[in-house]
A and B are shown apart, each in its own frame.
Chain A
Amino acid sequence: MSGPRVLVVDDAVTVRAFSRRVLEADGFVVDEAVNGIEGLERAMAAPPDLVIVDVNMRKMDGYTMLRVLRRDPGLRDVPAIMISTESKDSDREQALLAGANWYIVKPPRPEVLVEAARLLTGRPPNREDAP
């Protein structure tokens, strides 16, 4: 049986690869998209258990993607983490307004990313978890 599916939407291949690596190592199944539009397409094709979205992307940014996601009957409740290099309160606020459930400042520390993903997909925190 495969683990929860996480959709990572980021235009930086390095960041995607990083997220994939740490999340897959923890048993998540990771899907990737390079911008909001592709992210929505992926999410609609196979609803994920969690989306992790970058802010600044070509074609469609993370805010827009989250707003659209929250309007879609099948996807509106999918938990979402927004990830950004900005650490200001106003940026965090904007992310939550757009529909994010949580906000992480880049670069994410692996354990922080994994724990947040675990919590939002209903998996117990690490230590006690035996795969």
Chain B
Amino acid sequence: MPIRYDADLARFEAACTVEDALPLAEWLEATAVPRVDLSACTELHTALLQLLMAARPVVDAGPEDAFLARVIPLPPTGP
């Protein structure tokens, strides 16, 4: 699974695809204060991006992928 859920933290790893959209939506909805770690994410599907934009989770770590780091409108909000 490209997204690993660990209680209130979701780790995005490698290429995260549209398949992950539904589980991500359910997890975001069910989690009181969701946190995400995008550091290992190499591809982020638009469907996932818009869920993150709507849910505004705490971003523990931004993506290390140069393209994603530059373009996605999710500034790290983590500690």
* Contact between chain A and chain B defined by CB under 8 Å: no
